[in-house]
Chain A
Amino acid sequence: AQSVAQPEDQVNVAEGNPLTVKCTYSVSGNPYLFWYVQYPNRGLQFLLKYITGDNLVKGSYGFEAEFNKSQTSFHLKKPSALVSDSALYFCAVTPQRGGNNRLAFGKGNQVVVIP
């Protein structure tokens, strides 16, 4: 079965500083990996995904993520954080074969960007 670990509960960062949200995964075979963001009183919004190819994936709102197969990681990054990036971030994985539309979500990371 697939699983995701997001080791930190909360990530605090000063506005303008780089933001990193960590994610490691476990899956049989090769993964499809996703990052979602959830703002208060909203549903999850898709940020970016890794399918195959380049390990560095660029997504919405200036976010990017780097796939590292040897470390089974898919950390989310943004070079310069904005106060509006404060939200709950979820990493999710499904296997490329036999996923059956089941996404395994991490527990989520609350990001707080301090003005």
Chain B
Amino acid sequence: DTEVTQTPKHLVMGMTNKKSLKCEQHMGHRAMYWYKQKAKKPPELMFVYSYEKLSINESVPSRFSPECPNSSLLNLHLHALQPEDSALYLCASSQEGRNSNQPQHFGDGTRLSIL
């Protein structure tokens, strides 16, 4: 069992739909991440939150909108996605945001399919 919980596990949506991915951790971590992963490829960083503030946006299209309501929760709001956005979306967390020697803990992801 992972300590980072992501819901839903699977999501199928049309290009005009609006949906949200959710991520929760109770390890007291203050850095949280969204990654996109294509099959058999490494994860690609999308966003980083440090102390509930957005610290990194890797030039992600605006159809992806992150939100960090509190230190335990991370959301990714989706709107008007494209078929190429189909992928596994991973959430991760780590201890104190600027201390890069701490490992990131990953959830099992949401597998997103865009019709």
Contact = CB atoms under 8 A, between A and B. Distances in A.
Interface residues of B, number: 28
Among B6, B45, B56, B104, which residue has the most Cβ atoms of chain A within 10 A?
Answer: B104
B92 to A, nearest CB: 8
Given A43-B107, A96-B101, A108 B41 contact: yes
B2 interface: yes
B100 interface: yes
B33 interface: yes
A39 to B, nearest CB: 10
Interface residues of A, number: 26
A107 B38 CA distance: 11
A101 B31 CA distance: 8
Interface string B1-28: 0101010000000000000000000000
Contacts of B90: 43-44
B109 interface: yes
Contact of B56 (A44, A90, A102, A110): A102
Nearest to A9: B40
A103 interface: yes
Nearest to B91: A43
Interface of B: 2, 4, 6, 31, 33, 40-43, 45, 48, 50, 55-56, 90, 92, 94, 97-98, 100-101, 103-109
